[in-house]
Amino acid sequence: MDKYAQGEYEGDAYFSEVQECLLKGIMRMADISNAGRPFSVARQHSLNVMREFFRTGDLEQAYGLEITSYRDREEGVGAIIECQRSFIDYVVLRYARSFCAFASFAEKWDFLGHSASVPALDRARAAASDKTCPPLASIIQSLLDAILINREAWCGISAEDGDIVACLSDEGLVFSGSL
């Protein structure tokens, strides 16, 4: 980013490169954004992922292999909570914070195309001419806020929670939350 500010990059090539990075970043955020969905939805999705992890661990054990991290259902509720907290801390939050900073940079230097004439962007701008469309960095920050709330919710789960017990005992997919 400093290279642009120092004038080392100019013209359409750099503009296109930054826009491509933004699009890739948006796709990656979509891929890991479950952690920011309403907790009842995010939790059910995460428990289904944990169920897959535990089945993998069961197969590893059946073949005499060492059970990899977060795949051993015998570790109980703590393993589920730790896996979700670790994923949020070391993957989702780190990426979302970095992407939020990149989006802020792109908005500051107008890389989102506000001064460029691109037909698709022109149509989007016309549709949002009432300024109801918040900046990308604000949207990401809202997602970050939801992720932090969900992280705390994971840390407060009880060992007696019915969905957790079902996940540990492999009683099928869990869909008790609203989708």
Task: Tell me the pLDDT tens digit for each residue of 90-117.
Answer: 999 999 999 988 888 887 777 665 544 4
Structure tokens at 8: 């080392």
Q: How far lies 43's CA from each of 12, 35, 147, in Å? A: 43, 8, 12
* 117: phi then psi, degrees, rounded to nearest 5: -105, 95
88: phi > 0 → left, psi -120 to 50 → alpha, else beta; which? alpha
Q: Of 76, 80, 60, 77, which Cα lies nearest the Cα of 68?
A: 60
Percent of the chain whose predicted confidence (pLDDT) is above 70: 74
pLDDT for 17 equals 81
pLDDT band at 175; cut points 50, 70, 90: very low
pLDDT band at 177; cut points 50, 70, 90: very low
Q: Of 44, 51, 151, 141, which Cα lies nearest the Cα of 91?
A: 151
Structure tokens at 74: 């015998």
Q: Of 39, 36, 42, which Cα lies nearest the Cα of 146?
A: 36
Mean pLDDT for the chain overall: 80
CB atoms within 10 A of CB 55: 13
Helices assigned H by DSSP within the chain: 2-5, 11-32, 39-62, 77-87, 93-108, 119-127, 136-155, 162-169
Give, in degrees to the nearest 5, the angle at Cα 12 between 9 and 15: 70
Q: What is the pLDDT of residues 58-84, one digit of tens each?
A: 999 999 999 999 999 999 888 899 999
